[in-house]
Amino acid sequence: MNTFRALMRSAGGQPPLGAWVMSASPIIAEAIGLAGFDWGVVDMEHTPLEMMGVTHLLQALGNTRMATVVRVPWNEPVTVKRVLDAGATTVMFPFVQNADEARQAVAATRFPPEGVRGMVGMSRASRFGTAPNYLQTANRQIGVIVQIESAQAVVQIEAIAAVPGVDALFVGPADLSGSLGLPGQTLHADVLALMADAVRRAKAAGVPIGTLAFSADAATRYRAMAFDFLAVASDLNLLMQGAAATLRALRTQDGAARVHTLNDGTQPEPGA
């Protein structure tokens, strides 16, 4: 059973909440997986991860209940093959623009005759040869998510969603804003309108669609649009937010204590 597909089926109207794993650290990935997120993305596109690092992250996340997705750097079969051999069961493909590119993505995840994935019996994916009939059953176990990251791709959603093997779509707000000439303005009215259009098209096609919301405002807007699943944090984002909040609180506290001392000539109480 593919854990991401199962999550989509059991969501019950509440969008499952996910996290991006960008730190390349198995320890942090395992902690994120145990924090309670429903799903997570091991990101190879915008991190320094290589294949051994991906393997270590998958091993760590295997100790958690989080449905794990691996985002490959690009839509090409060599990296996909290696990621699947390492044990990934759902792959996210960036910047898929049309149905042909979606078919290429799906084919990279399938053994022949359904695709072009190179066959191997001795891999982590097959539990090192101990999984019964792995070569005959693997194709049914692999999930595919394709990213919609341009205005042109939104127009092609119906055709992309109709490709057999595409399990879900994922809108990238940042790249979508760039395609509209509004780089980084992910909450601009034009970007939001295009995202809402993507959701309408995906719903009509009967394919789940998700997106990325790293602020409460964005998450509220995307929920109102009826996205089916949301990524709401990244491990590095949470780390930086926590660090900044701690420093801000302590520095504010320290500054207030110094002002108090200057005003009355006494030292602040411990913990004040």
Catalytic residue among 46, 56, 188, 260: 46
Whether residue 57 contacts residue 29, with contact meaning beta carbons closer than 8 Å, is answered with yes
235/43 Cα distance (integer angstroms): 11
Q: Which of 145, 154, 147, 150 is nearest to 201 (CA)?
A: 154
| Count of beta carbons in the 10 Å neighbourhood of residue 129 | 10
- The verdict on whether 188 is a catalytic residue reads no
User: Which single residue is written with the structure tokens 């996340």?
Assistant: 61
* Enzyme catalytic residues: 46
